[in-house]
């Protein structure tokens, strides 16, 4: 049954982020020929996955202590995420990678305004919440919305140099609890929140994925831009809107440079890889 207090969501790609630290000491002890074999094997696996319409992957060289390499995978199903994870685990290079973190989620579009609009429209047509007819017509409307949003639900991974990923949740504290705020108030705060993001249109591409029931936080946020200062300005400005100031809790931030899979040998030999 569709609860009018719960905003509907549309789901797209299944998403896996993998963060690794390279065991550089062990890598350096390998003969040059063996290093080349391992790098070439990894390139042969990862390069064809870039831009793959059935489910793309991307590589990011991370800045700071949280890891050296982040892999981002978009796939249609969790089975396909499992398959790419296992294929990477089978690489010779994987023996020299130490997993530092990971994140599982599903691309999500939250429909606060649309949920309220559909409920209001159906009530105006004399349909009562909880009846079979209401549920049937509601599902039909959601199917139309999904078809309209397919491009956003199954988008490519933006080929932009700067990448920022972080998880976040809505606060459920003793004083501030997002989930006890009336629907209309939550919807208004999310509209305000969205207006800030739209002001940065063209400067940054944002992909939101839901992880409630899938990982330790409630959402994952991927940002792609040409200038890392945009991340700082966007997230700083958003901290001042009510939805973030009162209710947002942020996890660790992972920031780095996206690069082409064919540049992996350069990365492994100590050169900043190119996109």
C-alpha atoms less than 13 angstroms from C-alpha of 64 in its C-beta half-sphere: 10
Closest C-alpha among 67, 49, 66 to residue 58: 49
Q: How far does Cα 89 stand from its chain's mean position?
A: 22
Residues in the chain, how many? Answer: 275
The answer to whether 8 touches 115, Cβ cutoff 8 Å, is: yes
Structure tokens at 7: 């905003």
Structure tokens at 249: 């809790």
236 given a catalytic annotation: no
Q: Which of 166, 200, 236, 247 is catalytic?
A: 166
Closest C-alpha among 186, 170, 168, 136 to residue 247: 170
Positive or negative torsion for Cα 38, 41, 46, 47? positive
Structure tokens at 103: 């994140």
For residue 236, what are the CA distances in angstroms to 143, 213, 240?
36, 28, 7
Non-local CB neighbours of 207 within 8 Å, separated by 6+ positions: 107, 155, 158, 221, 222, 224
Closest C-alpha among 9, 77, 15 to residue 220: 15
**Active site residues per annotation:** 166
């Amino acid at each position: 049954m569709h609860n009018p207090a719960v905003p509907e969501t549309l789901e797209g790609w299944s998403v896996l982020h993998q963060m690794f630290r390279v065991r550089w000491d062990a890598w350096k002890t390998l003969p040059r020929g063996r290093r080349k074999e391992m790098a070439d094997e990894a390139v042969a696996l990862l390069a064809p996955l870039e831009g793959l319409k059935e489910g793309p992957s991307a590589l990011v060289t991370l800045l700071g202590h949280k890891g050296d390499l982040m892999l981002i995978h978009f796939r249609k199903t969790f089975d396909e995420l499992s398959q790419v994870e296992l294929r990477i685990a089978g690489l010779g290079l994987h023996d020299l990678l130490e997993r530092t973190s990971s994140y599982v989620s599903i691309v999500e579009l939250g429909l606060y305004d649309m949920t309220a609009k559909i409920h209001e429209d159906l009530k105006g047509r004399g349909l009562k919440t909880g009846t079979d007819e209401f549920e049937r017509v509601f599902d039909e409307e959601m199917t139309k919305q999904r078809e309209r949003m397919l491009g956003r639900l199954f988008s490519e991974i933006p080929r932009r140099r700067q990448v920022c990923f972080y998880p976040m949740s809505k606060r459920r504290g003793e004083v501030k609890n997002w989930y006890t705020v009336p629907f209309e108030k939550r919807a208004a705060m999310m509209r305000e929140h969205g207006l800030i993001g739209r002001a940065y249109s063209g400067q940054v591409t944002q992909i939101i994925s839901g992880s409630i029931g899938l990982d330790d936080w409630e959402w994952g946020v991927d940002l792609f831009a040409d200038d890392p200062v945009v991340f700082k300005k966007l997230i700083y400005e958003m901290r001042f809107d009510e939805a973030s100031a009162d209710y947002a809790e942020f996890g660790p931030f992972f920031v780095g440079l996206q690069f082409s899979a064919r540049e992996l040998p350069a990365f492994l030999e100590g050169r900043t890889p190119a996109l």
